[in-house]
Structure 1
Amino acid sequence: MSEYERSRTMPALPEHIFDQASQVRRLDSWLPSELHVKAEDLPAVTVHEDTTGEDAAALFRAQPERLRLEWGTRDSHGYAGWLQVVDAGSGSSEVTVHLSFFDERHDPGADTVRSALEDSLARLEEQVRLRVDNGG
């Protein structure tokens, strides 16, 4: 099993970040660009990966009361992940993304995953900034 985690402090209220991150129709704006999520009957979703051309049955759950997202493969134990937003004070928040790969065949490697997590957090911060700057 491989596990990866990255955090980033963002200059926005936790609720604004969670609202941006948790909407399925907006996931493509901050997830790695090769991943595309299509909602089915939530929590069921399908994740399309451009690099392989494959679709994977997955689950996506938002827990607004905890400012937490959880996801993972639906029919196998390939991977799971979560995103947690916490108030960091003074109008900022800390966002942590965690990925666990239970099946090594799903793990693209430490450098690739770490880079993807950093890029995703940067993209999420940019989407939140654009949304807040444009009045929500």
Structure 2
Amino acid sequence: MTEYERSRTMPAQPEQVYDQAANVGQMDAWLPEALHVHAGEPPAVTVHEDRTDQDTFALLRSRREQMRLEWGTREQGSYSGWLQVAGIGGGASEVTVHLSFFDERHDPGERAVGDALDTSLRRLEEQVRLRVEHAAG
């Protein structure tokens, strides 16, 4: 098993960050650009990957009371992950994303995963900033 994790501080309350991250209809705005989540019968989702043009059946669980999203593949059990939002005071939050690959054939490698996590967290921060600025103005 291989695991990866990245964190990023965001200038917003944890509830605002979590609500943006957990909105299935807007996940394409912050997930890696090649991934698209389509909601099914909760907690079921389908993840489409542009690079392979394949759909993967997955589960996505939202635990708002814990400010946590959890996901993973349904049938083959080769991949799982979670996103945790924590308030750090002063109107800011820290977001941590953790990925676990149980099957090395599905692990794109440390550099690719690190780049994808960093980019996704940056994109999520941009979406959160837009949401906070829109609500304020």
For the superposition of Structure 1 and Structure 2, which TM-score range results when normalised by the shorter chain?
A: over 0.9
> 1:116 deviation in Å?
0.2
Structure 2 partner of 1:70: 70
Query: C-alpha separation between the residues in 1 aligned to 2:28 and 2:43?
Result: 17
> 1:86 deviation in Å?
0.3
Structure 2 partner of 1:55: 55
Query: C-alpha separation between the residues in 2 aligned to 1:67 and 1:116?
Result: 22
State the identity as a percent: 63
Query: C-alpha separation between the residues in 2 aligned to 1:105 and 1:36?
Result: 21
SS of 1:75's equivalent in the other structure is: coil
Tell me how large the CA RMSD over aligned residues is. 0.7
Structure 2 partner of 1:93: 93
Unaligned runs of 5+ residues in structure 2 are none
Query: C-alpha separation between the residues in 2 aligned to 1:23 and 1:37?
Result: 10
SS of 2:135's equivalent in the other structure is: coil
SS of 1:134's equivalent in the other structure is: helix
Residue by residue, what CA displacement relative to the aligned partner does 1:23-78 show, whole Å, maximum 9, x if unpaired? Answer: 11011010000000000101000000000011000000100000000000000111
Q: Which letter maps to 2:68?
A: R
Q: Which letter maps to 2:7?
A: S
Unaligned runs of 5+ residues in structure 1 are none
Query: C-alpha separation between the residues in 2 aligned to 1:15 and 1:40?
Result: 24
